[in-house]
Amino acid sequence: MPEWPGWEPIIIAAAIMVVALVAAVALRMFAKRLTARAEDTRWAWDDLAARLLYDLALPLSVLGGAWLAANALPLHHGTMVATGRVLTAATVFVVSLALARLVAGIIASVALIRQGTAANVTIFTNISKVLVLGVGVLVMLQSLGVSITPLLGALGVGGLAVALALQDTLANLFAGVHVLASRTMEPGDYIKLSSGQEGYVVDINWRNTSIRTLSDNIEVIPNATFSKTILTNYHRPAQDMSLLIQASCAYDADLDHVEKVVIEVGHEVMAEVEGGVKDALPVVRFHTFDDSRIHFTVILRTVEFGDQFRIKHEFVKRLHRRFRLEGIEMPPPTRKILLPDSFPRPTSTHQSD
């Protein structure tokens, strides 16, 4: 019968666990303050580093203390081996979770830098999380003594069956990756589909794309739809765009004077109204002789798609006011119909039998 080792190893192990818990709490509090300080800076990478320290401080301190405490106890060799494997697997799992969050944060930060404050692409962050966690689980199983070679073979066969069962889901996934890789559209772009949906791209995830309409509603569109429809991106190749406004004047108006007045109003709108491109030159093009007036098109520039409504609103008001001051008429559609004074009456011939 083995002798009782005494209380000394147990006390030492307990003391080690207490010290580990105190160190874990202290590191967690330090990481929390560091995270709050990092949020006040404009640099994103210190936030990620502080968040990683915050995630790992408590679990790694506890797991390290548990390993030291186990070594302080007179355990059998087999028990020590099993304890080491369990603690190693737990450490791998905790580190995998923290690294998955770190990688997702790095991808989100890069997207934010490239695309501005409107960037929100969850498809890449989700894929990166799944990959990191998948590798972490395989390493964790390997540390527990589980052979992952048969598991990889089973995953290959099972993955083929899952791929056949989830064809639509995988089609949406790869379509979303293709859209982002080809830079057809990005979060913040204003798009319009041939099917009629239009709005600002809010998010592109693994299954669908969310767009915000001008009425502040969210429309969710499957990613595979973009490979089957015609898409117009109003932010490509540049965000600013031309705005065409139709107007008209009377036949007896001086067209040179009309053009001068319209250009002056266009310059005024471009310089004073928010959303106008200040150095853009307004253009006037006369194009149609109508029944009672001459039509022309005014070409202005807006900073982005959503500004066109404000620009058009102000331009129409100011042009109408200026035309009234200049005496330029915009006659309504009229049509002159000429009728003869009298109509010849048909004569009828009666025949008698």
Residue 25 CA to residue 256 CA, distance in Å, equals: 80
Q: How many CA atoms lie within 13 A of 208 on its CB side?
A: 7
The residue among 158 and 262 whose pLDDT is bigger is 262
Q: Which of 77-86, 110-119, 126-135, 335-344 has the lowest mean pLDDT?
A: 110-119
Helix (H) or strand (E) holding 53, with range, is: helix 44-72
Q: What tens digit of pLDDT does each residue of 228-245 get? A: 888 889 888 888 899 999
Closest by CA to 48, choosing from 26, 62, 28, 31, is: 31
Strands of the chain (E only): list them: 190-193, 198-204, 208-212, 218-222, 231-233, 241-249, 283-289, 294-302
Is residue 247 within 8 Å of residue 202, measured between CB atoms? Answer: no
Q: How far apart are CA 46 and CA 38, in angstroms?
A: 6
pLDDT digits (tens, 9 = 90+) for 256-285: 999 999 999 999 999 999 999 988 899 999
Judged against a pLDDT cut of 70, whether residue 179 lies above it is answered with yes
Can you tell me which residue has the tokens 């982005």?
Answer: 304
Radius of gyration (Cα) for the chain, nearest Å?
A: 37
* Separation of alpha carbons 200 and 205, rounded Å: 15
Tokens 């028990």 sit at which residue? 79
Where do the domains of the chain lie?
7-147, 148-237, 241-326
> 123: Cβ–Cβ under 8 A, 6 or more apart, which residues?
173, 176, 177, 180, 204, 205, 206
pLDDT beyond 70 at 21:
yes
Pairing of strands 294-302, 283-289: antiparallel
Residue 173: predicted pLDDT: 74
Confidence of residue 353 (pLDDT cuts 50, 70, 90): very low
b/e per residue, 14-23, with b = 16+ CB within 10 A? eebbeebeeb
| Range picked from 65-79, 84-98, 144-158, 333-347 for highest mean pLDDT | 84-98
Could you tell me if 301 and 273 are in contact, meaning their C-beta atoms sit under 8 angstroms apart?
no
More confident residue, 5 or 259: 259
Instruction: State the Cα–Cα distance between residues 147 and 141, nearest whole angstrom.
Output: 7
Q: Residue 183: pLDDT above 60?
A: yes
Which CATH code of 3.40.50.150, 2.30.30.60, 1.20.58.100, 3.20.20.140 fits the domain covering 148-237?
Answer: 2.30.30.60
Residue 317 tokens read as 């008001």
As beta bridge partners, residue 130 has: none
Whole-angstrom Cα distance, residue 337 to residue 343? 16
- Report the number of secondary-structure helices (H) and strands (E) in the chain: 8, 8
Alpha carbon distance 352, 346 (integer Å)? 20
User: What is the DSSP track for 296-342?
Assistant: EEEEEEESSGGGHHHHHHHHHHHHHHHHHHHT---PPP-------S-
Helix or strand holding residue 75 (H, E):
none
Share of the chain above pLDDT 90, in %: 23
pTM to 2 decimals? 0.55
Confidence label for 83 from pLDDT (cuts 50, 70 and 90): confident
Q: Classify domain 241-326 at the CATH topology level.
A: Alpha-Beta Plaits (3.30.70)
User: pLDDT class for 180, splitting at 50, 70, 90?
Assistant: confident
pLDDT tens for 184-243 read 888 888 999 988 889 999 888 778 889 999 888 999 998 888 878 888 898 888 888 999
Count other Cβ atoms within 10 Å, centred on residue 213.
12
Q: Answer whether the bond into residue 237 is a cis peptide, omega within 30°.
A: yes
